[in-house]
Amino acid sequence: MQQQKLATIEDVAAIAGVSIATVSRAINEPTKVADATRRRVNEAVARTGYTTNAMARSLRMRRSNMILILAPDVGDPNFSNILVGLETEASKRGYGVLIGNTQNDPERESDYLRFINSNQADGLILFTGHLPYGVGAGEEGGTRLPPMVAVNEPVTNSAVPYVGVDNFEGARIAAEHLISQGHRRIAFIGHSTTKAVNGLREQGYRAALAGAGLSIDPRLILDGDGTTESGRAATEQMFVRDVLPTAFLCVNDATALGVIISLNARKYDLPREFSVMGFDDISFASFVTPSLTTMKQPRLKIGEEAMDLLLALLAGEQPARTEVLLRSELIVRNSVSRAARE
Protein backbone atom coordinates (compact mmCIF):
# COMPACT_ATOMS: atom_id res chain seq x y z
CA MET A 1 0.00 0.00 0.00
CA GLN A 2 2.98 2.23 0.43
CA GLN A 3 3.60 2.56 -3.25
CA GLN A 4 1.06 1.64 -5.81
CA LYS A 5 3.11 -0.82 -7.80
CA LEU A 6 5.32 1.16 -10.11
CA ALA A 7 5.16 0.68 -13.84
CA THR A 8 7.72 -1.73 -15.19
CA ILE A 9 9.27 -1.98 -18.56
CA GLU A 10 6.75 -4.64 -19.39
CA ASP A 11 3.84 -2.29 -18.84
CA VAL A 12 5.44 0.17 -21.19
CA ALA A 13 6.11 -2.53 -23.75
CA ALA A 14 2.52 -3.71 -23.63
CA ILE A 15 1.13 -0.23 -24.17
CA ALA A 16 3.54 0.58 -26.95
CA GLY A 17 2.93 -2.79 -28.55
CA VAL A 18 6.59 -3.79 -28.67
CA SER A 19 8.88 -6.12 -26.79
CA ILE A 20 10.68 -5.08 -23.63
CA ALA A 21 13.96 -5.26 -25.49
CA THR A 22 12.79 -2.53 -27.80
CA VAL A 23 11.68 -0.38 -24.90
CA SER A 24 15.07 -0.76 -23.31
CA ARG A 25 16.75 0.22 -26.53
CA ALA A 26 14.42 3.11 -27.16
CA ILE A 27 15.45 4.51 -23.82
CA ASN A 28 19.13 3.75 -23.76
CA GLU A 29 20.15 3.72 -27.40
CA PRO A 30 17.50 5.76 -29.17
CA THR A 31 19.27 5.63 -32.52
CA LYS A 32 18.94 1.90 -32.70
CA VAL A 33 15.22 2.07 -32.94
CA ALA A 34 12.89 3.24 -35.71
CA ASP A 35 11.51 6.73 -35.33
CA ALA A 36 7.90 5.65 -35.23
CA THR A 37 8.49 3.01 -32.55
CA ARG A 38 10.55 5.37 -30.47
CA ARG A 39 7.68 7.81 -30.45
CA ARG A 40 5.24 5.16 -29.39
CA VAL A 41 7.54 4.07 -26.61
CA ASN A 42 8.12 7.59 -25.37
CA GLU A 43 4.46 8.16 -25.25
CA ALA A 44 3.88 5.00 -23.28
CA VAL A 45 6.64 6.01 -20.89
CA ALA A 46 5.01 9.36 -20.35
CA ARG A 47 1.64 7.78 -19.81
CA THR A 48 2.81 5.29 -17.23
CA GLY A 49 5.32 7.55 -15.54
CA TYR A 50 7.83 4.77 -15.95
CA THR A 51 11.32 5.19 -14.58
CA THR A 52 13.75 2.38 -14.89
CA ASN A 53 14.33 0.45 -11.73
CA ALA A 54 17.86 1.24 -10.71
CA MET A 55 18.26 -1.94 -8.72
CA ALA A 56 17.45 -4.23 -11.58
CA ARG A 57 19.59 -2.18 -13.87
CA SER A 58 22.52 -2.27 -11.49
CA LEU A 59 22.17 -5.96 -10.96
CA ARG A 60 22.25 -6.66 -14.63
CA MET A 61 24.95 -4.16 -15.52
CA ARG A 62 27.09 -4.80 -12.50
CA ARG A 63 27.47 -1.15 -11.77
CA SER A 64 25.49 1.01 -9.49
CA ASN A 65 26.33 4.50 -10.64
CA MET A 66 27.22 5.26 -7.08
CA ILE A 67 30.40 6.68 -5.66
CA LEU A 68 31.45 6.11 -2.10
CA ILE A 69 33.12 8.99 -0.33
CA LEU A 70 35.19 8.00 2.64
CA ALA A 71 36.10 10.80 5.00
CA PRO A 72 37.63 10.64 8.44
CA ASP A 73 35.71 13.66 9.59
CA VAL A 74 32.69 15.06 7.90
CA GLY A 75 32.97 18.13 10.07
CA ASP A 76 36.33 19.12 8.66
CA PRO A 77 35.98 22.60 7.18
CA ASN A 78 37.77 21.44 4.06
CA PHE A 79 35.36 18.62 3.60
CA SER A 80 32.06 20.23 2.86
CA ASN A 81 33.17 22.45 0.04
CA ILE A 82 35.02 19.69 -1.71
CA LEU A 83 31.94 17.58 -1.22
CA VAL A 84 29.85 20.13 -3.05
CA GLY A 85 32.19 19.88 -6.01
CA LEU A 86 32.15 16.11 -5.90
CA GLU A 87 28.41 15.94 -5.65
CA THR A 88 27.78 18.49 -8.34
CA GLU A 89 29.94 16.73 -10.87
CA ALA A 90 28.65 13.30 -9.91
CA SER A 91 25.02 14.22 -10.18
CA LYS A 92 25.64 15.98 -13.46
CA ARG A 93 26.93 12.69 -14.80
CA GLY A 94 24.13 10.63 -13.36
CA TYR A 95 25.98 9.34 -10.35
CA GLY A 96 24.93 9.41 -6.74
CA VAL A 97 27.23 9.89 -3.79
CA LEU A 98 27.28 7.78 -0.71
CA ILE A 99 29.06 9.11 2.27
CA GLY A 100 30.98 7.24 4.91
CA ASN A 101 32.29 8.92 8.01
CA THR A 102 35.13 6.72 9.20
CA GLN A 103 36.55 8.68 12.14
CA ASN A 104 39.78 6.92 11.23
CA ASP A 105 38.39 3.77 12.71
CA PRO A 106 39.84 0.80 10.80
CA GLU A 107 36.77 -1.23 11.49
CA ARG A 108 34.48 1.37 10.02
CA GLU A 109 36.77 1.72 7.04
CA SER A 110 36.74 -1.93 6.19
CA ASP A 111 33.06 -2.09 6.97
CA TYR A 112 32.38 0.46 4.29
CA LEU A 113 34.15 -1.66 1.74
CA ARG A 114 31.13 -3.86 1.57
CA PHE A 115 29.61 -1.16 -0.59
CA ILE A 116 32.37 -1.69 -3.07
CA ASN A 117 32.39 -5.45 -2.79
CA SER A 118 28.69 -5.80 -3.33
CA ASN A 119 28.66 -3.43 -6.25
CA GLN A 120 26.72 -0.88 -4.30
CA ALA A 121 29.39 1.61 -5.24
CA ASP A 122 31.55 1.64 -8.32
CA GLY A 123 34.36 3.79 -7.07
CA LEU A 124 35.90 5.51 -4.12
CA ILE A 125 36.91 9.00 -3.13
CA LEU A 126 39.35 9.06 -0.27
CA PHE A 127 39.76 11.92 2.14
CA THR A 128 41.63 9.75 4.57
CA GLY A 129 45.18 9.92 3.29
CA HIS A 130 45.54 6.17 3.43
CA LEU A 131 43.99 3.11 1.87
CA PRO A 132 40.99 1.87 3.79
CA TYR A 133 41.92 -0.88 6.12
CA GLY A 134 41.34 -4.13 4.30
CA VAL A 135 41.79 -2.87 0.78
CA GLY A 136 44.66 -4.12 -1.30
CA ALA A 137 45.23 -6.83 1.24
CA GLY A 138 46.18 -9.43 -1.34
CA GLU A 139 47.90 -7.09 -3.66
CA GLU A 140 51.26 -8.84 -3.87
CA GLY A 141 50.72 -9.79 -7.47
CA GLY A 142 48.56 -7.55 -9.61
CA THR A 143 47.00 -4.77 -7.63
CA ARG A 144 43.32 -5.36 -7.33
CA LEU A 145 42.31 -1.98 -6.06
CA PRO A 146 38.88 -0.60 -6.80
CA PRO A 147 38.89 2.58 -8.86
CA MET A 148 39.64 5.45 -6.54
CA VAL A 149 40.92 8.97 -6.31
CA ALA A 150 42.43 10.69 -3.31
CA VAL A 151 41.55 14.19 -2.36
CA ASN A 152 42.54 16.59 0.40
CA GLU A 153 45.47 14.37 1.29
CA PRO A 154 47.44 12.09 -1.02
CA VAL A 155 47.55 8.42 -0.15
CA THR A 156 50.97 7.64 1.18
CA ASN A 157 53.06 5.06 -0.63
CA SER A 158 50.71 4.32 -3.42
CA ALA A 159 49.88 5.12 -6.98
CA VAL A 160 46.38 6.30 -6.11
CA PRO A 161 45.65 9.33 -8.26
CA TYR A 162 45.44 12.51 -6.27
CA VAL A 163 43.87 15.84 -6.93
CA GLY A 164 44.58 18.73 -4.67
CA VAL A 165 46.08 22.11 -4.36
CA ASP A 166 49.67 22.84 -5.25
CA ASN A 167 50.92 23.23 -1.71
CA PHE A 168 54.48 24.01 -2.60
CA GLU A 169 53.56 26.73 -5.04
CA GLY A 170 50.87 28.15 -2.78
CA ALA A 171 53.14 28.44 0.23
CA ARG A 172 55.79 30.01 -1.96
CA ILE A 173 53.36 32.66 -3.16
CA ALA A 174 52.29 33.29 0.43
CA ALA A 175 55.84 33.72 1.62
CA GLU A 176 56.65 35.95 -1.33
CA HIS A 177 53.69 38.12 -0.41
CA LEU A 178 55.13 38.62 3.06
CA ILE A 179 58.55 39.33 1.60
CA SER A 180 57.03 41.86 -0.76
CA GLN A 181 55.67 43.66 2.28
CA GLY A 182 59.17 44.08 3.57
CA HIS A 183 59.29 41.18 5.99
CA ARG A 184 62.65 39.52 6.37
CA ARG A 185 62.19 37.55 9.54
CA ILE A 186 59.34 35.21 8.69
CA ALA A 187 58.42 32.30 10.92
CA PHE A 188 56.92 29.08 9.62
CA ILE A 189 54.49 27.44 12.04
CA GLY A 190 53.58 23.87 11.28
CA HIS A 191 56.72 21.86 10.68
CA SER A 192 55.94 18.15 10.60
CA THR A 193 57.80 15.09 9.49
CA THR A 194 54.68 13.00 9.21
CA LYS A 195 52.22 15.18 7.36
CA ALA A 196 52.93 15.39 3.66
CA VAL A 197 50.95 18.58 3.27
CA ASN A 198 52.93 20.36 5.96
CA GLY A 199 56.16 19.23 4.39
CA LEU A 200 55.28 20.61 0.98
CA ARG A 201 54.16 23.94 2.36
CA GLU A 202 57.36 24.25 4.32
CA GLN A 203 59.29 23.57 1.13
CA GLY A 204 57.44 26.39 -0.57
CA TYR A 205 58.31 28.70 2.30
CA ARG A 206 61.95 27.76 2.08
CA ALA A 207 62.00 28.21 -1.67
CA ALA A 208 60.58 31.71 -1.39
CA LEU A 209 63.10 32.77 1.20
CA ALA A 210 65.94 31.27 -0.77
CA GLY A 211 64.67 32.96 -3.90
CA ALA A 212 64.75 36.31 -2.16
CA GLY A 213 68.22 35.72 -0.85
CA LEU A 214 67.05 35.50 2.72
CA SER A 215 68.72 33.06 5.04
CA ILE A 216 66.60 30.61 6.94
CA ASP A 217 66.70 30.80 10.69
CA PRO A 218 65.87 27.35 12.05
CA ARG A 219 64.68 28.96 15.28
CA LEU A 220 61.84 30.45 13.31
CA ILE A 221 60.54 27.10 12.12
CA LEU A 222 58.27 25.54 14.69
CA ASP A 223 56.46 22.26 14.92
CA GLY A 224 52.72 22.08 14.53
CA ASP A 225 50.09 19.55 13.62
CA GLY A 226 47.69 21.98 12.03
CA THR A 227 45.43 22.54 15.00
CA THR A 228 44.55 25.90 16.51
CA GLU A 229 46.10 24.79 19.73
CA SER A 230 49.40 24.02 18.01
CA GLY A 231 49.49 27.54 16.62
CA ARG A 232 48.91 28.99 20.03
CA ALA A 233 51.54 26.81 21.62
CA ALA A 234 54.15 27.60 18.99
CA THR A 235 53.63 31.31 19.47
CA GLU A 236 53.98 31.08 23.21
CA GLN A 237 57.15 29.13 22.74
CA MET A 238 58.59 31.89 20.60
CA PHE A 239 58.03 34.43 23.33
CA VAL A 240 59.61 32.12 25.86
CA ARG A 241 62.68 31.74 23.67
CA ASP A 242 62.47 35.42 22.82
CA VAL A 243 63.29 34.84 19.17
CA LEU A 244 60.66 36.81 17.33
CA PRO A 245 59.74 37.20 13.67
CA THR A 246 57.91 40.10 12.12
CA ALA A 247 55.54 37.79 10.30
CA PHE A 248 54.06 34.33 10.82
CA LEU A 249 53.39 32.06 7.88
CA CYS A 250 51.18 29.27 9.15
CA VAL A 251 50.67 25.87 7.64
CA ASN A 252 46.93 26.48 7.64
CA ASP A 253 44.20 28.81 8.82
CA ALA A 254 43.47 26.86 11.97
CA THR A 255 47.07 27.29 13.03
CA ALA A 256 47.00 30.96 12.09
CA LEU A 257 43.97 31.40 14.29
CA GLY A 258 45.94 30.01 17.21
CA VAL A 259 48.72 32.47 16.51
CA ILE A 260 46.29 35.36 16.36
CA ILE A 261 44.57 34.33 19.57
CA SER A 262 47.92 34.18 21.29
CA LEU A 263 49.05 37.56 19.98
CA ASN A 264 45.73 39.17 20.79
CA ALA A 265 45.95 37.83 24.31
CA ARG A 266 49.33 39.51 24.61
CA LYS A 267 47.68 42.78 23.58
CA TYR A 268 49.66 43.27 20.44
CA ASP A 269 48.13 45.49 17.82
CA LEU A 270 47.67 43.40 14.70
CA PRO A 271 48.71 43.64 11.98
CA ARG A 272 50.85 46.63 12.94
CA GLU A 273 53.17 44.73 15.23
CA PHE A 274 52.96 41.29 13.68
CA SER A 275 51.70 40.01 10.36
CA VAL A 276 50.04 36.60 10.11
CA MET A 277 49.18 34.48 7.10
CA GLY A 278 47.25 31.26 6.89
CA PHE A 279 46.48 28.75 4.17
CA ASP A 280 43.14 27.27 3.05
CA ASP A 281 40.71 30.14 3.43
CA ILE A 282 38.27 28.31 5.59
CA SER A 283 35.03 30.02 6.38
CA PHE A 284 35.93 31.88 9.53
CA ALA A 285 39.12 33.31 8.02
CA SER A 286 37.18 36.41 7.10
CA PHE A 287 35.55 36.73 10.52
CA VAL A 288 38.59 36.67 12.73
CA THR A 289 39.97 39.99 13.90
CA PRO A 290 42.08 40.91 12.07
CA SER A 291 40.57 39.10 9.12
CA LEU A 292 43.05 36.64 7.76
CA THR A 293 45.16 37.02 4.66
CA THR A 294 45.51 33.54 3.28
CA MET A 295 45.74 31.26 0.26
CA LYS A 296 42.38 30.07 -0.95
CA GLN A 297 42.04 26.45 -1.91
CA PRO A 298 39.85 25.93 -4.95
CA ARG A 299 37.78 23.36 -3.14
CA LEU A 300 34.86 23.27 -5.48
CA LYS A 301 37.21 22.73 -8.37
CA ILE A 302 39.11 20.07 -6.49
CA GLY A 303 35.91 18.16 -5.95
CA GLU A 304 34.85 18.46 -9.54
CA GLU A 305 38.22 17.45 -10.93
CA ALA A 306 38.49 14.52 -8.57
CA MET A 307 35.09 13.22 -9.54
CA ASP A 308 35.84 13.78 -13.17
CA LEU A 309 39.02 11.80 -12.85
CA LEU A 310 37.30 8.99 -10.99
CA LEU A 311 34.58 8.72 -13.59
CA ALA A 312 37.21 8.59 -16.30
CA LEU A 313 38.89 5.79 -14.43
CA LEU A 314 35.58 4.03 -14.17
CA ALA A 315 35.13 4.35 -17.89
CA GLY A 316 38.35 2.43 -18.26
CA GLU A 317 40.57 5.32 -19.24
CA GLN A 318 44.10 5.41 -17.98
CA PRO A 319 44.70 8.60 -16.03
CA ALA A 320 46.92 11.03 -17.88
CA ARG A 321 48.67 11.96 -14.69
CA THR A 322 48.54 10.44 -11.29
CA GLU A 323 48.54 13.84 -9.65
CA VAL A 324 46.49 16.89 -10.49
CA LEU A 325 47.62 20.05 -8.75
CA LEU A 326 45.43 23.12 -8.80
CA ARG A 327 46.48 26.64 -8.07
CA SER A 328 45.54 28.41 -4.90
CA GLU A 329 44.69 32.06 -4.83
CA LEU A 330 46.09 34.80 -2.65
CA ILE A 331 43.32 36.40 -0.62
CA VAL A 332 44.46 39.68 0.86
CA ARG A 333 42.67 40.73 4.02
CA ASN A 334 43.82 42.58 7.10
CA SER A 335 46.28 40.39 8.93
CA VAL A 336 49.33 41.50 6.99
CA SER A 337 50.90 44.93 6.88
CA ARG A 338 54.28 46.28 5.85
CA ALA A 339 57.05 45.32 8.18
CA ALA A 340 57.48 48.06 10.74
CA ARG A 341 60.89 46.89 11.89
CA GLU A 342 63.74 44.70 10.78
Partner DNA sequence: ATGGATCATGAAAACCTTTACATCTTCGGT
Partner DNA sequence: ACCGAAGATGTAAAGGTTTTCATGATCCAT
Which spans of this chain sit near DNA (rule: CB under 7 A)? 6, 8-10, 17-22, 24-25, 27-28, 32-34, 36-37, 50, 52-53, 55-57, 59-62
Q: Which is nearer to a copy of itself, 87 or 281 (CB)?
A: 87
Shortest reach from residue 223's CB to a copy of itself, in Å: 22
Shortest reach from residue 57's CB to a copy of itself, in Å: 8
**Of these partners, a copy of itself, DNA, none, which one is at the site of residue 168 (CB under 5 to 8 Å by kind)?**
none
| Dihedral sign for Cα atoms in the order 206, 163, 141, 146 | positive
CB 190 within 8 A of CB 201: yes
Q: Give bridge partners of residue 148 from the DSSP assignment.
A: 124
**Binding residues vs a copy of itself (CB under 8 A):** 2-4, 6, 51-56, 58-59, 64, 66, 74-75, 77, 79-81, 83-84, 87-88, 91, 96-101, 108, 111, 114-115, 117-120, 144, 146-147, 228, 257, 261, 264, 283-284, 287-289
Shortest reach from residue 53's CB to DNA, in Å: 3
| Dihedral sign for Cα atoms in the order 131, 147, 152, 104 | negative
CB 265 within 8 A of CB 48: no
Shortest reach from residue 68's CB to DNA, in Å: 19
Which residue type is seen at 18?
A: V
**In which region does residue 280 sit, left (phi positive, over 0), alpha (psi from -120 to 50) or beta (all else)?**
left
CA 208 to chain centre: 26
Output phi, psi for 163, to 5 deg: -125, 130
CA distance 190 to 169: 17
Output phi, psi for 249, to 5 deg: -100, 120
Q: Which is nearer to DNA, 31 or 157 (CB)?
A: 31
**Of these partners, DNA, a copy of itself, none, which one is at the site of residue 156 (CB under 5 to 8 Å by kind)?**
none
Q: Which is nearer to a copy of itself, 156 or 286 (CB)?
A: 286
**Of these partners, a copy of itself, DNA, none, which one is at the site of residue 24 (CB under 5 to 8 Å by kind)?**
DNA
